Amino acid sequence: MGYDSDNLDGDGPRGRSRHRRAGKKNSGRRILLGFGVFVVVALGLGAWLAYTANAAYTSLDQAREHAQAAKSALLTGDTQKADTSVSDAVRTSTQAKDATDSLIWTAAAAIPYVGQPLDVVSQITDVVNGLSVDVLTPSVEVGTTLDPSRLRGPDGSIDIAALRDASPALSRAAAAAEVLDAQAEAIEEPTFVDRVGEARTRLQDQTHELTSLLTNTNIAAEVLPAMLGADGPRNYFLAFQTLSESRGTGGLIGGFGIVRAVDGKVAVDSLASNAELRIPYDPIDLGPDFFDFYESRFQPTQNWQNSNVSPHFPYAGRIWQSMWEQETGERLDGALATDPVALGYILDAVGPITMGDGEVIDGSNVVRITQSDAYFRFQDDNAARKAYLQDIAARVVAKMQGNIGSPSALLEALGKATSEGHISVWSADPALQAILGPTEIGHEVPDSPDPYAAVVVNNGAGGKLDYYLQRKVTYSAQSCDGPTRTTRVVAETTNNAPLQDYTTYIAGRQNDSTRYDGPPGTNRSVVALYATRGATLTDATINGTPLFLLTAAERGHPVFYVPVVIEPGQTKTIEYNLVEPTVAGEAQAPVQPQSAPAPTEVDFPDCS
């Protein structure tokens, strides 16, 4: 049987078989070639992406450093360095933004899980570039105007025209900063790459700090010209609060003065001790809640000693305004309050004062001397003690009005005192008060449904032992689910008074009676929790023992209060379990001003 010629030509079964093998071979080569090209392209893109990521991160890191340097230079009044630093921040942040805005970066960032850190870097870059262009650049433009060394004239007056001129630019910068702060807070933590996570945390902290600084500076530029007499003379009651006898806004009025401001020039006159105030004054109407909680028990609108039992500072301001008008016929334009802790920060900035007998008082000892030592030194002569404290206040005021070596340091000291609650301001002008009230310096009990827990101590013995109190507050919630949620407030109060003899004036009249027979140094206080609007109390304990609390209301907030006795060396811990409305606002736990720092922890989920 011979071969068919058609088969020999390759058209038969064998020929077809050979052609198929050749086709498979060529196809395999094409696949290998295509795979090789893919690998090369992928490696190239990967290398490019890695290079771009490193370049973007380097530029981003430089931009953050330049932005921080610009902010620091602004605070120290070095406008030339601020201008150079912000230009560098704009340049480097733009470089980082150009890299992260590329098509390949965007595509890689969209890959689930793997691309998430790249997306985080993009968001960080957007915020840093926004801070450089929209916030720091206009801030530097007005930086020369707001240089503390130039803003305060040789005579101590404030350039209120410059403040007003800077206000619009500051307002725009502050608004832009608030938007960027919200963007920074919304950036999710990267799923891996610790370096990116650390950059996110640093950015959030720096953005929040810068936003707070600009917001406060903008508020100052808005309200200070009018308050400092740009539109006519302005006069204010100034209370020096004695933190050794606690009150809602800080402490008992130990002394006072009248602040007078005209065209930016500020002077303090009529410095006097509380002995110059009388009892009683004609009452004023601060509403039914105020009357039911305070006026019916403590007569705060009539008795200066209790005029600031409420933590809502505008109430104290209105009462002091009424008192002064009844004393002199002069109607004041507002009220301010401060205390020895603030004086300590001021003395750190402006330098010590020297008393007539050579005693040196500075930031390290002014709180101890005024809140403790003076009561023992002048225990047999209360009038001499008050004159001594008045002399200290007068010398600090004179020091502030004199030649100050570093105005920026003084400004920083005042800012620190304000942030810790040791300076309070109320304006009788409704437009100005609407701006001041919600800020830290306004000390309002907020007219807001946001989560709120303020633990307030009022002295319950008429003594001066609160200097030794140490307080700590924790406010926490676990969930955002449902219309209500359970919350918990823990208030720890420790009495660090030494076991020693105290005069009746220091120990308090209540401790001298037969109502309580505790060891020397025993403290009697009234502890109150001002809670979230609509909150109800489930139960409360003190050192684990069930506690019955009295109830009241203030500005729509429920108040739960109880007398507490604490012997020296003891800690009383009150735990409040509450049910309150679930709202998206930021939880607040303001700290009552006191001699010792009060750690406060807020642990709330983000329900926004």
pLDDT in tens, 136-145: 999 888 876 6
pTM of the model: 0.85
Question: Is residue 124 domain-shared with residue 254, that is, in the same domain?
Answer: no
Q: Which is more confidently placed, 300 or 140?
A: 300
226-245 per-position pLDDT tens digit: 999 999 999 999 999 999 99
Question: Is residue 58 domain-shared with residue 127, that is, in the same domain?
Answer: yes
Query: What is the H or E stretch that residue 338 is in?
Result: strand 334-338
Per-residue confidence (pLDDT) for residue 229, from 0 to 100? 95
Question: Is residue 71 domain-shared with residue 169, that is, in the same domain?
Answer: yes
Domain boundary among 227, 262, 297: 227
Bond into 280 cis (ω within 30): yes
Residue 465: give its domain's CATH number. Answer: 2.60.40
Relative to beta strand 360-361, strand 265-273 is unpaired
d(CA 204, CA 183): 9
Question: Is residue 211 domain-shared with residue 295, that is, in the same domain?
Answer: no
Q: Are 46 and 38 in contact (CB under 8 A)?
A: no
What's the rounded mean pLDDT across residues 543-564?
97
76 pLDDT tier (thresholds 50, 70, 90): confident
Per-residue confidence (pLDDT) for residue 351, from 0 to 100? 95
514 pLDDT tier (thresholds 50, 70, 90): very low
125-165 per-position pLDDT tens digit: 999 999 999 999 998 888 766 777 778 777 778 888 888 98
Question: Is residue 470 domain-shared with residue 334, that is, in the same domain?
Answer: no
51 pLDDT tier (thresholds 50, 70, 90): low
Helix (H/G/I), strand (E/B), else coil: 63: helix
In terms of C-beta density within 10 A (0-12 exposed, 13-18 middle, 19 or more buried), how is residue 154 classed? exposed
Q: Is 375 a member of any domain? A: yes
Per-residue confidence (pLDDT) for residue 13, from 0 to 100? 43
Q: Is 406 a member of any domain? A: yes
Q: Are 337 and 238 in contact (CB under 8 A)?
A: yes
Question: Is residue 375 domain-shared with residue 454, that is, in the same domain?
Answer: no
What's the rounded mean pLDDT across residues 96-111?
87
405 pLDDT tier (thresholds 50, 70, 90): confident
Q: Which is more confidently placed, 216 or 148?
A: 216
256 pLDDT tier (thresholds 50, 70, 90): very high
d(CA 125, CA 97): 6
Query: What is the H or E stretch that residue 475 is in?
Result: strand 469-477
- With tokens 């490193």, the residue in question is 54
pLDDT tops 60 at residue 374: yes
Per-residue confidence (pLDDT) for residue 607, from 0 to 100? 84
Most confident of 39-48, 113-122, 396-405, 526-535: 526-535
Q: Is 608 a member of any domain? A: no
440-487 per-position pLDDT tens digit: 999 999 999 999 999 999 999 999 999 999 999 999 998 899 999 999
Question: Is residue 362 domain-shared with residue 461, that is, in the same domain?
Answer: no
30 pLDDT tier (thresholds 50, 70, 90): low
Question: Is residue 394 domain-shared with residue 487, that is, in the same domain?
Answer: no
Per-residue confidence (pLDDT) for residue 42, from 0 to 100? 43
Question: Is residue 215 domain-shared with residue 249, that is, in the same domain?
Answer: no
5 pLDDT tier (thresholds 50, 70, 90): very low
Per-residue confidence (pLDDT) for residue 424, from 0 to 100? 97
- Number of domains observed in the structure of the chain: 3
Question: Is residue 328 domain-shared with residue 200, that is, in the same domain?
Answer: no
Per-residue confidence (pLDDT) for residue 511, from 0 to 100? 53
Domain boundary among 427, 453, 480: 427
Contacts of 445 (CB under 8 A, 6+ apart): 310, 311, 312, 454, 530, 554, 555, 557
Q: Is 4 a member of any domain? A: no
Q: Quick one: what percent of the chain has pLDDT higher than 90?
A: 65
Q: Is 79 a member of any domain? A: yes
Pick from 85-94, 106-115, 178-187, 230-239: least confident: 106-115
Q: Is 195 a member of any domain? A: yes
Q: Is 14 a member of any domain? A: no
Q: Is 119 a member of any domain? A: yes
Instruction: Record the tokens describing residue 472, joined without a space.
Output: 């700590």
d(CA 412, CA 553): 36
Find the domain containing 541 and state its range: 445-603
- With tokens 């104290």, the residue in question is 316
Question: Is residue 198 domain-shared with residue 258, that is, in the same domain?
Answer: no
In terms of C-beta density within 10 A (0-12 exposed, 13-18 middle, 19 or more buried), how is residue 243 classed? buried
- With tokens 């006159």, the residue in question is 269
Q: Which is more confidently placed, 208 or 150?
A: 208
Per-residue confidence (pLDDT) for residue 516, from 0 to 100? 61
Per-residue confidence (pLDDT) for residue 41, from 0 to 100? 40
CA within 13 Å, CB half, 5: 0
In terms of C-beta density within 10 A (0-12 exposed, 13-18 middle, 19 or more buried), how is residue 75 classed? middle
pLDDT tops 80 at residue 571: yes
26 pLDDT tier (thresholds 50, 70, 90): low
Pick from 20-24, 219-223, 353-357, 578-582: least confident: 20-24
Kindly list the strands in the beta sheet with 545-546, ordered across the sheet, starting from the edge strand earlier in the chain: 545-546, 536-542, 571-581, 484-495, 469-477, 600-603
Per-residue confidence (pLDDT) for residue 157, from 0 to 100? 84
Per-residue confidence (pLDDT) for residue 71, from 0 to 100? 84
- With tokens 């009357």, the residue in question is 291
Provide the 8-state DSSP code for 276.
G
Question: Is residue 390 domain-shared with residue 487, that is, in the same domain?
Answer: no
Most confident of 78-82, 106-110, 346-350: 346-350
Domain boundary among 358, 393, 427: 427
Q: Are 95 and 132 in contact (CB under 8 A)?
A: no
Per-residue confidence (pLDDT) for residue 563, from 0 to 100? 96
Per-residue confidence (pLDDT) for residue 9, from 0 to 100? 43
Per-residue confidence (pLDDT) for residue 16, from 0 to 100? 45
